[in-house]
Protein backbone atom coordinates (compact mmCIF):
# COMPACT_ATOMS: atom_id res chain seq x y z
CA UNK A 1 0.00 0.00 0.00
CA UNK A 2 1.28 3.47 -0.85
CA UNK A 3 2.43 5.66 2.03
CA UNK A 4 0.03 8.49 1.23
CA UNK A 5 -2.93 6.09 1.35
CA UNK A 6 -1.90 4.86 4.79
CA UNK A 7 -1.45 8.44 5.99
CA UNK A 8 -4.87 9.40 4.60
CA UNK A 9 -6.52 6.42 6.31
CA UNK A 10 -4.97 7.41 9.65
CA UNK A 11 -5.94 11.09 9.24
CA UNK A 12 -9.50 10.11 8.31
CA UNK A 13 -9.70 7.87 11.37
CA UNK A 14 -8.44 10.66 13.66
CA UNK A 15 -11.03 13.04 12.21
CA UNK A 16 -13.90 10.58 12.66
CA UNK A 17 -12.87 9.86 16.25
CA UNK A 18 -12.35 13.50 17.24
CA UNK A 19 -15.44 14.91 15.53
CA UNK A 20 -17.73 11.86 15.81
CA UNK A 21 -18.22 12.50 12.09
CA UNK A 22 -20.24 10.57 9.56
CA UNK A 23 -18.76 9.11 6.39
CA UNK A 24 -20.39 11.88 4.33
CA UNK A 25 -19.00 14.65 6.52
CA UNK A 26 -15.54 13.10 6.44
CA UNK A 27 -15.61 12.66 2.66
CA UNK A 28 -16.55 16.33 2.23
CA UNK A 29 -13.73 17.52 4.52
CA UNK A 30 -11.04 15.36 2.88
CA UNK A 31 -12.26 15.86 -0.68
CA UNK A 32 -12.67 12.16 -1.42
CA UNK A 33 -15.65 9.95 -2.12
CA UNK A 34 -17.73 8.19 0.53
CA UNK A 35 -16.51 4.91 -0.94
CA UNK A 36 -12.89 5.92 -0.37
CA UNK A 37 -13.56 6.89 3.24
CA UNK A 38 -15.40 3.63 3.84
CA UNK A 39 -12.68 1.52 2.21
CA UNK A 40 -9.97 3.35 4.18
CA UNK A 41 -11.59 2.74 7.56
CA UNK A 42 -13.02 -0.76 7.01
CA UNK A 43 -10.33 -2.46 4.92
CA UNK A 44 -7.07 -0.52 5.12
CA UNK A 45 -7.11 0.81 8.68
CA UNK A 46 -7.47 -2.60 10.42
CA UNK A 47 -4.21 -3.67 8.73
CA UNK A 48 -2.45 -0.46 9.79
CA UNK A 49 -3.81 0.01 13.32
CA UNK A 50 -6.49 -2.42 14.55
CA UNK A 51 -7.11 -0.55 17.83
CA UNK A 52 -7.92 2.73 16.08
CA UNK A 53 -9.98 0.84 13.50
CA UNK A 54 -12.12 -0.55 16.30
CA UNK A 55 -12.72 2.94 17.75
CA UNK A 56 -13.81 4.19 14.31
CA UNK A 57 -16.08 1.17 13.86
CA UNK A 58 -17.87 1.95 17.12
CA UNK A 59 -18.54 5.54 16.02
CA UNK A 60 -19.68 4.55 12.53
CA UNK A 61 -21.98 1.85 13.94
CA UNK A 62 -23.53 4.44 16.23
CA UNK A 63 -23.97 6.85 13.31
CA UNK A 64 -25.58 4.11 11.26
CA UNK A 65 -28.02 3.31 14.06
CA UNK A 66 -28.99 6.99 14.35
CA UNK A 67 -29.22 7.90 10.67
CA UNK A 68 -32.98 7.39 10.44
CA UNK A 69 -33.38 9.98 13.19
CA UNK A 70 -31.12 12.51 11.42
CA UNK A 71 -33.02 11.92 8.17
CA UNK A 72 -36.33 12.60 9.89
CA UNK A 73 -35.00 15.83 11.40
CA UNK A 74 -33.73 17.00 8.01
CA UNK A 75 -37.09 16.32 6.40
CA UNK A 76 -38.92 18.13 9.20
CA UNK A 77 -36.66 21.17 8.84
CA UNK A 78 -37.10 21.18 5.07
CA UNK A 79 -40.87 21.43 5.25
CA UNK A 80 -40.94 23.88 8.17
CA UNK A 81 -38.87 26.41 6.26
CA UNK A 82 -41.07 26.21 3.13
User: Which pLDDT score is estimated for 7?
Assistant: 96
- Per-residue pLDDT of 25-43, as tens digits, reads 999 999 999 999 999 999 9
What is the value of pTM for the model shown?
A: 0.82
Cα 17–chain centre separation: 9
Give the Å distances, CA to CA, from 7 to 45, 51, 80.
Answer: 10, 16, 42
CA distance 11 to 14: 5
Domain regions of the chain by residue span? 3-80
CA distance 16 to 59: 8
Q: Which of 4, 3, 34 is nearest to 21 (CA)?
A: 34
Amino acid sequence: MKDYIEERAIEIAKYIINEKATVRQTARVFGVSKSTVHKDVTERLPKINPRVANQVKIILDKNKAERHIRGGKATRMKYRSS
